[in-house]
Structure 1
Amino acid sequence: MTIPLCDPNLCVSAGCTATVCIGKAIASNHTFYERSANVIPGGVNSSIRAFKSVGGEPYIVARGEGAHIVDVEGNRYIDLVQSYGAVILGHAHPAITAALRDAAGDGTSFGAPTPREMKLAEAIRERVPSCERVRLMNSGTEATSTAVRLARGATGRKRIITFYGNFHGATDALLAAGGSGIATLGIPGTAGVPEEAVANTLVVPYNVVPEIGNDVAAVIVEPVAANMGVIAPAPGFLEGLRAACDKAGALLIFDEVITGFRIGQGGAQAKYDVKPDITCFGKVIGGGLPIGAIGGSRAVMENLTPIGKVFHAGTLAGNPLATAAGLAALNELTPDVYMELGARARALATLLRDACSSAGIVAQFPV
C-alpha cells in the first residue's frame, strides 16, 4: 500500500505522483519559476505573466477560491486580475465546476457538433441582438483574426483601420500600435512579423473618427479601450464610426473580448447603443476555459464556410467543456447580477478617486 507523502501540485520533484514521491515537498514560487524556465521559454506561457513590467518574479498559483488565489507557498491574495476578465464569477464557482463535471463525463471532444455549442450560440444571440449568427472558436485572438478575414472576404477590400492603444490579440495583421506597445505606425515591432503583414493596417488615434476610404474593409475597435487604462469612448465617437463605415461601405467590428458580458448583458454595444457589423467575444463566454466567438448579421456571417467562401475551421471549436462552462456563466449573469457589479464598480471607483485626490494624484476612473 502506498501513502501520499506530498501534493503533486506543490511538489517540486520531477515526476511526482503523490503516492510514491519522497522528494522535496517544500515548494516556493521561485523554485517553481526556475524549474518552469528550464522547459518553458521565459518560464511562462503568456509573456505578460512574467512580471517584467513591474519587476520581480510571478507568484505560482496552486488554487483559486472566489475572489482569492493561493500560491504554492500557501500565501493567500485578493485577486484583482481574475484571469484578465475571464473569471467574472470568481474562482471555482459551484455552477461552473458542476457544469464541467457533467460535461467531462460525456466526453471532452468529438470533432462533431454538440447541443451545448448550439445552446451557447443561442444564449449569445439572445443577449446581443446584433449577433444574428454566431461562430465559436478557441480564443479572442482567433476571433479577431477571423473577423478581419471575414470583413475582407465580405467586402472584397484589403485595408483595416485600428486605433493606437487598442489590442486585438496576437494576430499579425493587428500587431501594430497595440495596447501592448509592440509596434507603431504600421511597422511591426515584434520579430517574426514582416512589414507586409501590417502593410494594409492603418493605425489612427483613438476617440477620433478617421476618414474611411473606399479601400477599407473594416474598422476594428475596442469600444472601451481596456488595454490602455480603460478609456471610455468620447461622446459621439462610436456613433461617428458607425456613420463613417456606413458611408464608405466598410464594416464596423467591435472587439468585445473584454467588454462583452462584463459591462452589461449586451456588452458595450448595448451600453452605448451602437450596433456593429461583427462582434468578437472571448473570456467571459468560456467561464474560464479557452474560447472565442464572432457574431454578426446573417448576411455577413454567411460568408463563412461551409456556406460562403471565407474559411474557418478548428478541431476544438465549440468544445464541450468550454461551452458547458460558458453556458453556466451566462446563466448566472442575470440583470440583477449586473446591477450589483455596477454598484460595486462605482463604489470602488469613488474610493479610488477620493484616495488619489487626497494624495495629489491626477487619475480618472470611468464607470
Structure 2
Amino acid sequence: MASVSGVSSSLSLLSFSSKPSRLSTRRVSTVVRNAISVEKKPFTLEKSEEIFNAAKELMPGGVNSPVRAFKSVGGQPIVFDSVKGSRMWDVDGNEYIDYVGSWGPAIIGHADDKVNAALIETLKKGTSFGAPCLLENVLAEMVISAVPSIEMVRFVNSGTEACMGALRLARAFTGRQKVIKFEGCYHGHADSFLVKAGSGVATLGLPDSPGVPKAATSDTLTSPYNDIETVKNLFDAHKDEIAAIILEPVVGNSGFITPKPEFLTAVREITKQNGALLIFDEVMTGFRLAYGGAQEYFGMTPDLTTLGKIIGGGLPVGAYGGRREIMEMVAPAGPMYQAGTLSGNPLAMTAGIHTLRRLMEPGSYDYLDKITGELIHGILDAGKRSGHEICGGHIRGMFGFFFTNGPVNNFEDAKKSDTSKFAKFHRGMLEEGVYLAPSQYEAGFTSLAHTSKDIEQTVVAAEKVLRRI
C-alpha cells in the first residue's frame, strides 16, 4: 500500500475492516532472515551525546521534560534534527520510524505539507495578537461540533493548564473542594494532581513531588483504576464533599490500559447520584480514539472534558469545555478566573483547524485501527514466539504492551511488567531504527502517515530484538 502521507484525498477512497490483519509467522521469519543478512550502517549517537552533555550544564538533567532523559531505559537520549511523515532523523543521521508522535499530536504525520503551508500564511500576519481572532471561532466550532460533552470551550496553552482550569471550574460550580483521581493517571504537573501520578513521575520512580504543599493535595482522593468499589467507598466517606472525578477514559500514562466494560458507566452513574461532575481528561484520547474522542467511542458523556495535543496539530495548545451552564462560570462570563496571554494564538489555531480537517476525511479512523492492529498483534505474536511473557492492545491509533502475562487493569498491574526487559527492548529497537517512548509507562501512537511497510519493518525489527533479549 502506498503511503497516505501527503495524499489525504485518497483516504476517502479507502475502506478497511476494523478487524486487524496479522503478519504470518512464515512471512515475518523470511523477512527477518533477509534483514539479518543486510549490512547496516553502524549505529552511533556521538553527536547526540556531545549535545546532551552540553545540555546538562544548561538545563536540569539536560532536558525540558523529564521522560526525555531515558532514565528508565538507560543509554543515551536521542537529540533530533528533523521529522517528516512517520519518520524522524537525529543529529547523527540515524533514521527512525516514530511511534511517539511528539507524545500524540502528530496524528496525521509530522510536518504535514498542508498544515505547514497554512502556518506559513498565518505567520505572515503575526504569531500572537493577545486579542481575539477569527481562527479561535473556527476551531471552537469544530471542537464543539465534534465532542459530545462540549457546548462551550476555553482554549489554553497545554494539557496541564486545561486540567487545572477544569478542576477549578468543577470546584466553583459545585461549591465543593475534594476531587477523586486514579492511581497512575497523569493530569499534568499542577500541585493537586501530583498524587500517585503516572507518566514521568512513575517512569522516574519519584514520590509525590517535593515542593508540593500538603494543603494542595489534602483534597485529592485516589482510587485504583477500574475499581468502582473504592470509588463508592470514597463517596460514602466524604458525602457531599466531592466536586468531581477526573480520569483518563483510556489510560496512557501508566502504559496503555483500557477501562473494563462496566467501569465508565458506573463512574458516570455515581457522579450523577452524588451531585459531582465527571471530567474526562482527553488530552491523549481526544480526536485519537474517534473524531469525538473516547466519549464518542464509548458512548459516554462527561460533564467536562480536557483536550490538548491533537487540537494544536503539533503546536502548544490545550482546551477545556463542557455544558454551557458550567462553562458560563468562567471569567469574564462568570466569577471563576482563568487567563492566558497566548491562549488561542493564531498559529496554534491554524494547525489545529487543518489537522482536524484531515481527520474528518472518510476512512481516517479505520486506517488507524488497521495499521495499529497489525503493529500490536505483530509485536505480541513475535514476543510469544520468542518465549516472552507479553500482553497489550490498541484502540484506533493508540497502543501499548507490557512484559507480563496480564491482564493489566490498573497501575499496580502495570508495575508487574519487566521494566529491565523493556529497557533492553527499547535500546534494541533504537538500533533497528524504531523510536518508541523511553518508558514502559507511556502509550504509543500511530499516524495516518504510517504505512503497511512501516508496520512490517517494525514487526521484523521487534522479532529480531525479542530473539536477542
TM-score, length-scaled by structure 2:
0.70
Match of 2:100 in 1: 81
Q: Which has the higher contact order (CA 8 A, sep 6+)?
A: 2
Taking the aligned partners of 1:354 and 1:215, their CA distance within structure 2 comes to 48
> 1:180, CA displacement in angstroms?
3.1
Taking the aligned partners of 2:247 and 2:91, their CA distance within structure 1 comes to 39
Q: 1:270 aligns with which of 280, 285, 296?
A: 296
Match of 1:50 in 2: 69
1:178-327 counterparts in 2 under 5 A? 178-180=197-199, 182=201, 189-209=208-228, 210-211=231-232, 212=235, 213-327=239-353
2:391 is paired with a residue of what secondary structure? coil
1:78 is paired with a residue of what secondary structure? strand
> 1:188, CA displacement in angstroms?
6.4
Q: Are 1:256 and 1:280, in contact at CA under 8 Å, matched by a contact in 2?
A: yes
Match of 1:71 in 2: 90
Q: 2:59 aligns with which of 15, 33, 40?
A: 40
> 1:357, CA displacement in angstroms?
2.3
2:268 is paired with a residue of what secondary structure? helix
Aligned-pair identity (%): 46
How many residue pairs match? The answer is 339
1:161 is paired with a residue of what secondary structure? strand
Name the Cα RMSD after superposition.
1.6
Match of 2:391 in 1: 363
2:199 is paired with a residue of what secondary structure? coil
Q: Are 2:166 and 2:320, in contact at CA under 8 Å, matched by a contact in 1?
A: yes
Q: Are 1:63 and 1:71, in contact at CA under 8 Å, matched by a contact in 2?
A: yes
> 1:275, CA displacement in angstroms?
0.3
Q: Are 2:310 and 2:352, in contact at CA under 8 Å, matched by a contact in 1?
A: yes
Taking the aligned partners of 1:365 and 1:188, their CA distance within structure 2 comes to 29
> 1:181, CA displacement in angstroms?
7.0
Q: Is the alpha carbon distance of 1:366 and 1:97 closer, same or farther for their aligned partners in structure 2, counting shifts above 3 Å?
A: closer
- CA deviation map 1:18-66 (0-9, x unaligned): xxxxxxxxx8111111221221111111111111111122111111011
Match of 2:424 in 1: none
Deviates more, 1:328-337 or 1:256-265: 328-337
Match of 1:23 in 2: none
Ranges in structure 2 where 5+ consecutive residues have no aligned partner: 1-45, 396-469
More helix by share: 2
Taking the aligned partners of 1:34 and 1:237, their CA distance within structure 2 comes to 46
Taking the aligned partners of 2:99 and 2:186, their CA distance within structure 1 comes to 20
Taking the aligned partners of 1:92 and 1:365, their CA distance within structure 2 comes to 28
Q: Are 2:66 and 2:200, in contact at CA under 8 Å, matched by a contact in 1?
A: no
Q: Are 1:166 and 1:228, in contact at CA under 8 Å, matched by a contact in 2?
A: yes
Match of 2:363 in 1: 336
> 1:169, CA displacement in angstroms?
0.7
Q: Are 1:188 and 1:198, in contact at CA under 8 Å, matched by a contact in 2?
A: no
> 1:134, CA displacement in angstroms?
0.6
Taking the aligned partners of 2:240 and 2:370, their CA distance within structure 1 comes to 44
Q: Are 1:88 and 1:262, in contact at CA under 8 Å, matched by a contact in 2?
A: yes
